[in-house]
A and B are shown apart, each in its own frame.
Chain A
Amino acid sequence: MTYELLVPIFIMSSALIAIGLYAVMSKKNILKIILAADIVETGVNILIVAMGYLPGGTAPIENGNYPLYVDPVPQALVLTAIVIGVSVTALALAVAMGYYRKTGTIELDKEGVMKW
């Protein structure tokens, strides 16, 4: 039952991941690449939160009145992942600023990040 409810969410998160990956590989603008990496992260986070979902479940705070609650572990994982994502994005923007100061542009030369 839960599986059928989650199908649209799985589709949405896969779409976000795919869009993000495509943009990371095809764009050369540093800010667009940072945004794309964030979109991938968001897609993954949505997927993980959905994994712990229970129909009719409440927030996982124990007070005895609600016996049915959603799995707290995925939420804790996503919370950690969001914090890590924010700090990595901040660092990436700092590096982008440094790159801009040295080169006067925010376009990567050559073929973007996937160049071997």
Chain B
Amino acid sequence: MVSLPPVLLIAFPLFFAFLAPLINMVSKKAVKYYTMAVLLLNTAISLIIFLNVLEHGVIYEELSGFYPPVGILLSVGYLGAILALLINALAPIVYLSYFGDAENSVKFSMIYMLVTASSTGIVITGDLFNMFVFFEITAVGSYGLVASMRTKKAYEGAFKYIVLGTIGSSFILLGIATIYGYLKTLNFYDIAARINTMPESARLMSFIFLIIGIGVEAELFPLNGWVPDAYEGASNRVAAFFSLGPSKAGIYAIARLLFTLVPLVKGFNLAMLLGLLTLVIGELAALRQKDPKRMLAYSSIGQMGLILVAFSMHSALAFTAAIFLMVSHALAKSLLFLGTRGYKEGVLRNPWVAGPIFIGVLSIIGMPPFPGFWGKWYLLVNMAQRGFWAVILLIIFAAIVEGVYYARFLHRGTEGEESKVLTRSEIAAITILALILVLVGMFPQYLYTPAVKAAAALMGGGP
């Protein structure tokens, strides 16, 4: 089988994104097809890299001829390969929803490719500062995507996001500086090998700085004030893209921090607390919302909290559960955001819209046989084995709240006369997403095997 260097995943879209204005000068219509071709090329590369990792294990790549710990290292482990494939396979599907639009913007297509590349960069890098730079590219691109609607709400959401994002990145830098000040290295595995030589207080300090900084992007309480406003101000397609790209990259960075960079018992306890707070507050806030986009945004926050709780269980089974939850969230939330553009009474009278949306909702609330069910099931089994009954009760409470507001949401869509809002290409996109959800749910073993390997690798402190 051919093997490809992982740097292509970042280099290709970066290169082609900046060529897009030239294509636009030749033909305005071609930009859409051009962007789609680039995204599909990236899907193919990420699939090949995923299969390579499954077959031969971790891929390391030193960039520009400097060897670690001096040079920048890319390392694609099992978790990185799963998430890179997830991001790059779903990006073209969400982009498909733009094909029905009359006008299209070259700026939008450029930023879309850039954010895809940088989100992928976060999950495949092996260098702390490199990760920071990719975080910033993702964040700056995301600010632009939110503001691109040019409404008052869009500007307000984008501004909140910019300010919290800037503060977050300052905290990431503080964390990096603390670690660098003691260890004089930025390489993940060099840090992991020597982190125990740092005094406990310094380790805790760098952990807190980093979790504050990354928590902004990973939508953790209390740093997620931007989430509902930015999601509300952004277009539905941008919100769909956020739930598969930047938020997944953010939660990956949290896993990397917890398991590889600064593994601390106190860190896991803090993450458990933050996760439960994020989950319960997110779900309760979602219950109060009338606007479907805001409701989905708060529901996203709740889901991220649940994923963080699964990480902080510090066990292989719970980590596998977290991977299922991430896949379910990326697929189902992008489906729901795409499917609820212009949501009003009667939208769900159309079976082609109702079918995928039902499937997405069922996966989010954890009904079998969808990936969300497998994630919650593995997680609850692991908690029951270890006697975390209070946490189980909280999770079940959150699931009930989730069920209530999603039932209300579906009920509203089925009332009244049939109304058509979505374009054909949007319906095609949500149908494909629903099909993937069904396939992953019916054949969980194809995700389970790499997920178990990823869990074992992270539990062992490796990539």
Residues of A within 8 A of B (CB): 17, 21, 24, 30, 33-34, 37, 40-41, 43-45, 47-48, 51, 71, 73-74, 77, 80-81, 84-85, 87-88, 91-92, 94-96, 98-99, 102-103, 108, 113-116
Is B184's CB under 8 angstroms from A71's CB?
A: yes
Question: A113-B160, A113-B225 in contact; A95/B155 too (CB < 8 A)?
Answer: yes
Q: Given the known A-B contacts A40-B166, A80-B133, are A98 and B225 also in contact in the complex, defined by CB atoms under 8 Å?
A: no
Given A21-B167, A91-B144, A99-B159; A115-B225 close (CB under 8 Å): yes
Q: Is the CB of B140 within 8 A of A95?
A: no
CB distance from B132 to the nearest CB of A (A): 8
Q: Is the CB of B150 within 8 A of A73?
A: no
B170 touches A41 (CB 8 A): yes
Q: Is B156 an interface residue (CB 8 A)?
A: yes
Cα distance A44–B133 in the bound complex, in angstroms: 16
> Do B163 and A102 have beta carbons less than 8 Å apart?
no
Q: How far is the CA of A71 from the CA of B180 in the complex (A)?
A: 11
Complex contact B152–A51 (CB within 8 A): no
Once the chains are docked, how many angstroms separate the CA of A87 from the CA of B226? 20
Nearest B residue to A115 via CB reads B225
What B residues does A47 contact at CB under 8 A? 174, 177
Residues of B near any A CB (own CB < 8 A): 129, 133, 136, 139-140, 143-144, 147, 150-152, 155-156, 158-160, 162-167, 169-170, 173-174, 176-177, 180-181, 184, 186, 222, 224-226, 285
6 closest cross-chain pairs (CB), A and B: A99-B155, A102-B152, A37-B166, A48-B177, A51-B181, A98-B155
Docked pose: A44 CA to B180 CA in angstroms: 14
Q: A92: which B residues are within 8 A, CB to CB?
A: 159, 162-163, 166
Q: Please measure, in the bound complex, the distance between the C-alpha atom of A91 and the C-alpha atom of B137, giving whole angstroms.
A: 13
Complex partner residue of B152 from A24, A37, A71, A103, CB under 8 angstroms: A103
- CB-based contact A77/B174 at 8 Å: no
Are B166 and A51 in contact, with the CB atoms below 8 A?
A: no
List 19 A-B residue pairs with CB atoms under 8 Å apart, sorted by A's residue number: A24-B167, A37-B170, A40-B166, A43-B170, A51-B181, A74-B180, A80-B133, A81-B173, A84-B136, A84-B169, A88-B136, A88-B140, A88-B166, A95-B162, A98-B147, A99-B159, A102-B152, A108-B159, A116-B225
Tell me, in angstroms, the Cα distance from A53 to B139 when the chains sit together. Answer: 31
Complex partner residue of B163 from A48, A87, A94, A113, CB under 8 angstroms: A113
Measured between beta carbons, the chain B residues less than 8 angstroms from A87 are: 140
Instruction: Report A-chain residues with C-beta under 8 Å of the C-beta of B151.
Output: 102
Say which residue of A17, A77, A85, A116 sits within 8 Å of B129 (CB atoms): A77
Q: Given A30-B159, A73-B186 in contact, is the A95-B174 Cβ separation under 8 Å?
A: no
Report the Cα distance A33→B159, complex, angstroms. Answer: 10
CA distance A51 to B147 in the complex (A): 37
Q: Is the interface of B mostly helix, strand, loop or mixed?
A: helix
A sample of 10 more A-B contacts (CB under 8 A), given A51-B181, A116-B224, is A44-B173, A44-B174, A74-B180, A77-B129, A84-B169, A87-B140, A91-B140, A92-B163, A98-B147, A98-B155
Of A45, A74, A81, chain B has the most CB atoms within 10 Å of the CB of A81
How close is A90's CB to chain B, nearest CB, in angstroms?
A: 10
Count chain A CB atoms within 10 A of each CB in B169, B177, B181, B222 and give the residue with the most: B177
Q: Cβ of B176 and Cβ of A77 under 8 Å apart?
A: yes
- CB neighbours (8 Å) of B158 from chain A are 95
Distance (whole angstroms) from the CB of B150 to the closest CB of chain A: 6
Given A47-B177, A77-B129, A98-B147, A91 contacting B170 (CB threshold 8 A): no
Determine if A37 and B163 form an interchain contact, defined as CB atoms under 8 angstroms apart: yes
Q: Knowing A74-B177, A115-B225 touch, does A40 contact B162 (C-beta < 8 A)? A: no
Residues of chain A within 8 A of B129, CB atoms compared: 77, 80
* C-alpha gap A116/B288 in the complex (Å): 13
Q: In the complex, which residues of chain A have a beta carbon less than 8 angstroms from the beta carbon of B173?
A: 44-45, 48, 77, 81
Which residue of chain B has the shortest Cβ distance to A109 in the bound complex?
Answer: B156
Report chain A residues within 8 Å CB of B224: 116
Q: Which of B166, B184, B226 gathers most chain A CB within 10 Å?
A: B166
Which B residues lie within 8 Å of A74 (CB)?
A: 177, 180
Nearest CB on A from B136, distance (A): 5
Docked-complex contact A113 and B155, CB < 8 angstroms:
no
Known contacts A71-B184, A95-B162; A114/B174 CB under 8 A? no
On whether the beta carbons of A91 and B160 are closer than 8 Å, the reply is no
Q: Closest CB of chain B to A77's CB: distance in Å?
A: 6
A51 to B176 Cα, complex, angstroms: 11
Chain A residues with Cβ under 8 A from B285's Cβ?
116
Instruction: Output the least CB separation between A80 and chain B (Å).
Output: 7
**Which among B152, B156, B170 has the highest number of chain A CB atoms within 10 Å?**
B170
A51 touching B177 in the complex, CB below 8 Å, given contacts A91-B143, A95-B143, A102-B151 = yes
A33 touches B174 (CB 8 A): no
> Nearest A residue to B137 by beta-carbon distance?
A84
Q: How far is the CA of A91 from the CA of B141 in the complex (A)?
A: 10
Complex CA gap A87/B141 in Å reads: 11
Q: How long is the Cα–Cα vector from A47 to B225 in the complex, in angstroms?
A: 28
Report how far A47 CA is from B175 CA in the complex, Å.
Answer: 11
Residues in B with CB closer than 8 Å to A33 are 163
Bound Cα distance A71, B151 (Å): 47
Instruction: Please state if B166 and A41 are interface contacts (CB–CB under 8 Å).
Output: yes
Q: Least Cβ distance of A35 to chain B in Å?
A: 11
